[in-house]
Amino acid sequence: MKKLTTIVVVVLCTCALAVPALAEEKYPSRPITYSIAFPPGGQSDLEARRQQPYLEEMLGQKVIIQYKPGGGGSICWADMVKQKPDGYFVAGINIPHIILQPIERGNAGYETEQIVPIAIFQATALGLAVMNDSPFKTVKDLVDYAKEHPGEVVAGGSGTWSGPHLAFLQFSKLAGIKMTWIPYKGAAPGVAAFLGGHIKVTMGNSNDLVAHKDKIRVLAMGTEERFKHFPDTPTFIELGYDMTASVDRGMGGPPGFPEQAVKVLEKACLDIASKPEVVEALERDGFVVRKMNAAQTAAYIEKKKAELIPILKEFKTK
């Protein structure tokens, strides 16, 4: 009988250890770390800072924002998947970046499947732009020049094998041209380089294009219909290039992230994205509101994987 009792105790202890780390009556009961994969001033940072006061009010806890830029986001996500899955460490996730990095790098320090989706709440369309004083007045001007001067046009933007880079590659392939791509650690340094004249063309996020619309000329937008902030700018589709381009942003957790925490954070993120003042600010600043729950986010990631992996593999073989 004593032996049986011992076995029962061991089994119960083992089961207790197997329960997800979140085993508290009220979640959250302490501060949450929110890790951002790109430098301060970029779209991911802007959205996290917008969410921060709302999250703290809704959750009743501090939300501590930290930055781990580099590697097209892979440094942050590699760090995130190693964190204790107790509900107190989350990271901003960017699509397609979380899909592209493991495939391109081979060893990005994480796999897309390790990230537990919580929600998608915001996006930016991507647009091809030059400065106002550029000799390129239209996409045709740029394409004609690039065909005559392969590699001479210096373009740039956020990251390598990121959403902007992939859009740049898609456009270059469809146009039959070769340009030089300069990657930056995030959107903010990429915009600074563009405005400073270090690159002549950018594949930029819509909110950055809107913020600097008086200084730049947007040649084409990656939307399905004309973007309301640039009604005179054609879409790539209108110009005969079969492509759309955007970056979607959300929140994810490490492997084993507790279901209870997912539900609490999912609701908070979507409630924030539904607030009239948030929607107004997002749309005013050139963002696109997205409201996908955890299940919808997971399905969307799978859809984008099926769409993008063949494209990425095609570019990698060249």
Task: Tell me the per-residue pLDDT of 36-74, one tens digit each, with 9 for 90 and over.
Answer: 999 998 899 999 999 999 999 999 999 999 999 988 899
| Structural domain boundaries, residue 180 | 125-221
Contact 163, 243 (CB under 8 A): no
Of 164, 210, 220, the closest CA to residue 187 belongs to: 164
d(CA 213, CA 91): 31
d(CA 250, CA 290): 9
CA 225 vs CA 90, 230, 232, 237: distances in Å = 34, 11, 11, 9
Residue 179's pLDDT is: 97
Instruction: List the beta bridge partners of residue 201.
Output: 155
Residue 23's pLDDT is: 57
Q: Is residue 8 part of a domain?
A: no
Specify whether 132 is located in the same domain as 91. Answer: no
CATH number of the domain residue 99 falls in: 3.40.190.150
Q: What is the dihedral of CA 183, 189, 191, 194, to 10 degrees?
A: -60
The number of folded domains in the chain is: 2
Contact 121, 106 (CB under 8 A): no
Domain endpoint, select from 170, 186, 221: 221
Specify whether 78 is located in the same domain as 90. Answer: yes
Specify whether 275 is located in the same domain as 253. Answer: yes
Tokens for 250, please give them. Answer: 């959300």
Specify whether 133 is located in the same domain as 98. Answer: no
Q: Is residue 201 part of a domain?
A: yes
pLDDT digits (tens, 9 = 90+) for 245-275: 999 999 999 999 999 999 999 999 999 999 9
Residue 185's pLDDT is: 86
pLDDT digits (tens, 9 = 90+) for 197-251: 999 999 999 999 999 999 999 999 999 999 999 999 999 999 999 999 999 999 9
Q: 89-95 and 32-36 as β-strands: parallel, antiparallel, unpaired? A: parallel
Q: Is residue 9 part of a domain?
A: no
pLDDT digits (tens, 9 = 90+) for 136-162: 999 999 999 999 999 999 999 998 888
Specify whether 257 is located in the same domain as 270. Answer: yes
Specify whether 80 is located in the same domain as 154. Answer: no
Burial of 95 (0-12, 13-18, 19+ CB in 10 A): buried
Residue 310's pLDDT is: 82
Contact 116, 259 (CB under 8 A): no
Instruction: List the beta bridge partners of residue 251.
Output: 92, 119
Q: Is residue 255 part of a domain?
A: yes
Which has more confidence, 83 or 2?
83
Residue 46's pLDDT is: 93
Q: Is residue 11 part of a domain?
A: no
Residue type, 288: V
Q: Is residue 2 part of a domain?
A: no
pLDDT digits (tens, 9 = 90+) for 179-200: 999 999 888 899 999 999 999 9
Specify whether 130 is located in the same domain as 207. Answer: yes
CA 304 vs CA 100, 116, 247, 261: distances in Å = 10, 16, 11, 25
> Is residue 7 over pLDDT 70?
no
Residue type, 200: K
Residue 170's pLDDT is: 92
Specify whether 263 is located in the same domain as 180. Answer: no
Domain endpoint, select from 221, 238, 267: 221
Of 49, 139, 94, 91, the closest CA to residue 246 belongs to: 94
pLDDT digits (tens, 9 = 90+) for 281-304: 999 999 999 999 999 999 999 999
> Is residue 317 over pLDDT 90?
no
> Is residue 5 over pLDDT 50?
no
Q: Is residue 240 part of a domain?
A: no
> Is residue 6 over pLDDT 90?
no
